[in-house]
C-alpha cells in the first residue's frame, strides 16, 4: 500500500508537469477566473491520483485527463452559486500578437462549449474525429456536424487563415 501510494504520488507529480499546459488551455476555453482554474487543477489531479492505476497507455491517460477536465469545467460552470453571481473575470488572455488572432480567439471563446471542445481537440490536440468522439462519448457524426457548425461560425476568420 505504502509503496503504491508513493508511486501514485510520483505519477501525479509527473502528470502535473506533463499535462498542466493542456489542462490550463481547456480551462482557458471554459473559465475566466484564476481561483476556478486552481480548483479545477486540484480536482483533476486528485482524480488522477485516485485512478492512477487504470491507465493503459499514454494516449489513454491524456484522453482521460482531457475528459475529466472538461467535466470539471462544466461542473464549475453549472454550480448553483456560479449561475447566480457575476464573477469579475480577470484578464487571463495572453496578449494577442495580431489582429486576426485576437478576432479568432474572441470568436472561438464565444462558441458554445460543445463546439469549442471539438475545435480544440481536433485542431489543436490533433485527435482524429473518431478519437474525439470517443473522448466526448459522442457519435462520430455528431462530432463532424459540430465541427462543421463551429467552422461556419469562424468562417470569416478561416479565410484569413
Interior CA angle at 152 toward 149 and 155, to 5°?
A: 150
Contact 36, 76 (CB under 8 A): yes
Binding test (CB under 8 A) with other proteins, winner from 4, 7, 38, 130: 38
User: Is position 161 an interface residue for other proteins (rule: CB under 8 A)?
Assistant: yes
User: Is position 148 an interface residue for other proteins (rule: CB under 8 A)?
Assistant: no
Binding test (CB under 8 A) with other proteins, winner from 3, 21, 57, 85: 21
Interior CA angle at 63 toward 119 and 133, to 5°?
A: 50
Of the CA atoms within 13 Å of residue 109, those in its CB half-sphere come to 14
Helices (H), 79-98: 80-84
Give the CA dihedral 75, 79, 84, 89, nearest 10 degrees.
Answer: -40
User: Is position 57 an interface residue for other proteins (rule: CB under 8 A)?
Assistant: no
Q: Which is nearer to other proteins, 139 or 148 (CB)?
A: 148
Binding test (CB under 8 A) with other proteins, winner from 63, 65, 108, 136: 108
Binding site for other proteins (CB under 8 A): 5, 9, 12-13, 16-17, 20-21, 23-25, 28, 37-38, 41-42, 45-46, 49-50, 80, 94, 96-98, 100-101, 104-105, 108, 119-120, 123-124, 157-158, 160-161
Amino acid at each position: 500500500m505504502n509503496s503504491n501510494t508513493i508511486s501514485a504520488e510520483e505519477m501525479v507529480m509527473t502528470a502535473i508537469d506533463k499535462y498542466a499546459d493542456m489542462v490550463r488551455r481547456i480551462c482557458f476555453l471554459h473559465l475566466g477566473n484564476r481561483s476556478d482554474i486552481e480548483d479545477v487543477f486540484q480536482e483533476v489531479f486528485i482524480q488522477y491520483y485516485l485512478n492512477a492505476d487504470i491507465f493503459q497507455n499514454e494516449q489513454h491517460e491524456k484522453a482521460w485527463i482531457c475528459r475529466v477536465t472538461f467535466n470539471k469545467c462544466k461542473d464549475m460552470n453549472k454550480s448553483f452559486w456560479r449561475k447566480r453571481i457575476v464573477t469579475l473575470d480577470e484578464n487571463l488572455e495572453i496578449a494577442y500578437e495580431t489582429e486576426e488572432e485576437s478576432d479568432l480567439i474572441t470568436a472561438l471563446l464565444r462558441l458554445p462549449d460543445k463546439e469549442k471542445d471539438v475545435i480544440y481537440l481536433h485542431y489543436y490536440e490533433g485527435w482524429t474525429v473518431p478519437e474525439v468522439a470517443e473522448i466526448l462519448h459522442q457519435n462520430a457524426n455528431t462530432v463532424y456536424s459540430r465541427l462543421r457548425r463551429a467552422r461556419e461560425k469562424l468562417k470569416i476568420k478561416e479565410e484569413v487563415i
